[in-house]
Amino acid sequence: MDSRIIKLAQLLTGYSVQVNKGEKVLIDYEGEATKPLVRQLIKEVYKQGGLPYITSRDSSIQREILLSATEDQLSSLNNQKLYEMKEMDCYIAIRGSENTAELSDVPSSQINMYLNALKPVLDYRVNNTKWVVLRYPNPSMAQLANMSLEGFSDFYFDVCTMDYKRMAYAMDSLVELMEKTDKVRIIQKDTDLTFSIKGMKAIKCSGERNIPDGEVYTAPIRDSVNGTIAFNTKSEEMGFTYEDIKFTFKDGKIVEATANDTEKINQLLDTDEGARYIGEFAIGLNPYVLEPMKDTLFDEKIAGSFHFTPGNCYEDADNGNKSSLHWDLVSIQRQEYGGGEIWFDDVLIRKDGLFVPDYLKCLNPENLK
């Protein structure tokens, strides 16, 4: 067994979800490439006294189901999966799909019905289990990153097994500042956005929920978002790649949305009432993740980035917005991506992707590596 796989499996079971004796652990995987990690995870769960359970998925099979699925059928699927999830204490998801665009031709109406039907499962998993979600290196993922499989695998294991405990300590100063902040302003090309985070919790993410990790998130006061934002990275959602995304907000609501497929993005934002409001604002900090690759779990952690999320909020940073959608959209503010500024209560906090105040410079990439 590759020693890097053993190290990753030990990180996931011992640090991310912290398996205890007698706990039930659901390992949910997709893709042939993930199987060596799945096997090692089973061994590590047993070593820690836990009880591993397995479920697998296949996007090509899911596509066939979704193309003609009915609401009653998906409701029954929810009941089945919710029963399974309620039996579990921990959840580890490993995604290694051979084709990330497999669902691209499923009609938006079917995707929206699926998202709404399965929302109770997602809510229960997020709020009631110890969970972590990660991708796994395979040819499809290497292509997204424009890298060879060997080169991407080396990058992947370096990023995924970094010293997250050290990162967690460095994040404390940013968490403290965000929890004292009222007004946030974001300025960059085609973007001038303001909102309030007054009284909201700030949550540091340092390897417990995602691998790779590296962000601090909160949520805006639901009705406080005003202005315009243009995202400078692509985003793949339900198999379709969105580009040139631009939103205009009025009192929290996305009142205008454009993209490379304006009709499709508005259909997605019409999934439900909460999909046009923001459920998360987060600052990306991972010093090893620098370039976008159309994979949210990596892109939202990019050093010098932030993400702004139409849809559902998290329970631990609850602004009251509920939706079956949670779509992390990323902008990079480093100089090579056009620069940008983040202001907290009229004080410049980050410029061109680098923190300005001395007490936050520990989070700049050269100090986190």
Contact yes or no for 252/278 (Cβ under 8 A)? yes
pLDDT band at 123 (very low <50, low <70, confident <90, very high): very high
| Percentage of the chain exceeding pLDDT 90 | 87
Residues 293 and 306 placed together within one structural domain of the fold: yes
Chain segment 3-47, per-residue pLDDT in tens: 999 999 999 999 999 999 999 999 999 999 999 999 999 999 999
The DSSP symbol for 360 reads G
Q: What's the full length of the chain, in residues?
A: 369
Residues 208 and 324 placed together within one structural domain of the fold: yes
State which amino acid sits at residue 243.
E
pLDDT of residue 159: 86
Residue 294 has pLDDT above 90, yes or no: no
> Taking the model in full, what pTM does it have?
0.81
The structural domain count of the chain equals: 2
Higher pLDDT, 322 or 207: 322
Residues 151 and 236 placed together within one structural domain of the fold: no
Chain segment 269-290, per-residue pLDDT in tens: 999 999 999 999 999 999 999 9
Residues 149 and 255 placed together within one structural domain of the fold: no
Residues 288 and 330 placed together within one structural domain of the fold: yes
Residues 23 and 114 placed together within one structural domain of the fold: yes
Query: What is the chain's mean pLDDT, rounded?
Result: 95
Q: Which of 160, 190, 212 is the last residue of a domain?
A: 160
User: Residues 324, 325, 328, CA angle at the centre, nearest 5°?
Assistant: 150
**What are the CA-CA distances from residue 160 to residues 4, 5, 49, 313 (Å)?**
10, 10, 24, 25
Q: What is the DSSP string of 244-292?
A: S-EEEEETTEEEEEE-TTHHHHHHHHTSSGGGGSEEEEEEE-BTT--S-
Q: Which of 116, 132, 160 is the last residue of a domain?
A: 160
Q: How far apart are CA 212 and CA 191, in angstroms?
A: 28
Q: What CATH number did the domain enclosing 53 receive?
A: 3.40.1830.10
Q: How far apart are CA 255 and CA 47, in angstroms?
A: 52
Contact yes or no for 274/331 (Cβ under 8 A)? no
Residues 154 and 179 placed together within one structural domain of the fold: no
Environment class of 21 (CB within 10 Å of its CB; exposed 0-12, middle 13-18, buried 19+):
exposed
**What are the CA-CA distances from residue 51 to residues 19, 29, 188 (Å)?**
9, 16, 49
Domain holding 283, by residue range, is 164-368
